[in-house]
Structure 1
Amino acid sequence: MRITIKRWGNSAGMVIPNIVMKELNLQPGQSVEAQVSNNQLILTPISRRYSLDELLAQCDMNAAELSEQDVWDIVLVGFDPASGHEQQGAGRPALVLSVQAFNQLGMTLVAPITQGGNFARYAGFSVPLHCEEGDVHGVVLVNQVRMMDLRARLAKRIGLAADEVVEEALLRLQAVVE
């Protein structure tokens, strides 16, 4: 199949036939990664990613609640009711993983913090935490994240996690969802 390169302002472009678009599962306007290898042009589709601003722009922020919690906050919150292997407890520490702009919508993504020894079987999904403020020590269980209404659950801020703890927790969570 031949594709002609055409002048497009100060750049050049090519028209990709529909058969190639279908084969690569591409949509008009979608981005691709372009690489040159052994004198060949290799196009790899890039998965669509949304920005938080894009998603928040679609929400009714007039109905948003003022949230005090932000990423890095450690809160004391009730995890009951729980079922099966879910973490439980009437008042246990949790690390806030979602940013305040999202939390304004009334729900917050949190990961429970445990001091129990049962976390070892999920070691790849746990991040050690030592927070002097509030005397919170243990591991953040990234495999047990939950969306919670912290206001309705009467959560209380008890500390602030170090940047590297939050970064490590988010990296491990990203591995779960990608």
Structure 2
Amino acid sequence: MPTIEVVEADITTLRVDAIVNAANEALSGGGGVDGAIHRAAGPRLSAACKAIQLVRPYVRCPTGEARITPGFDLPARHVIHTVGPIWHGGKDGEAERLASCYRESLRLAFEHGARNLAFPAISCGVFGYPLDQAARIAIREVRAWHGISPQRVVFCCFGKDAVHAYRDLLEP
């Protein structure tokens, strides 16, 4: 199991091997953390995302899956793009698709030799996933990871409420 840390920071400034982007299915950049990562990484990130093959019209990365690109102008070597579910009250398979985002991101980090990895609170922004439920899923999936890497996972939080949600779940 990786070492887990919780920080309040701008994920685009973290010096880690890979950061996770809470992306949209088109990998086109958008608002929130997705837009911030695209802006900080520079235009080559958008070009790399556009080079990822479409799996169906307008979809390069279906919900629950992940894709990887270089980090370009970021301090992180890689960006792992994953698409979390939109919250529909919890009765539409959201929990399993969110858990899959974490598993798929961890798998790509492992396959690309990332020793340390930073996650935002996937789906908790405009996708409306309740923070406490999302944090519980994130921590459960990271604790269940048995790969030799990443060895360190950082939950990078935007705001004190998110920091408390993660830290409260991590305390014994």
TM band (smaller chain): under 0.3
Which structure has the larger Rg over C-alpha atoms? Answer: 1
Greater strand proportion: 1
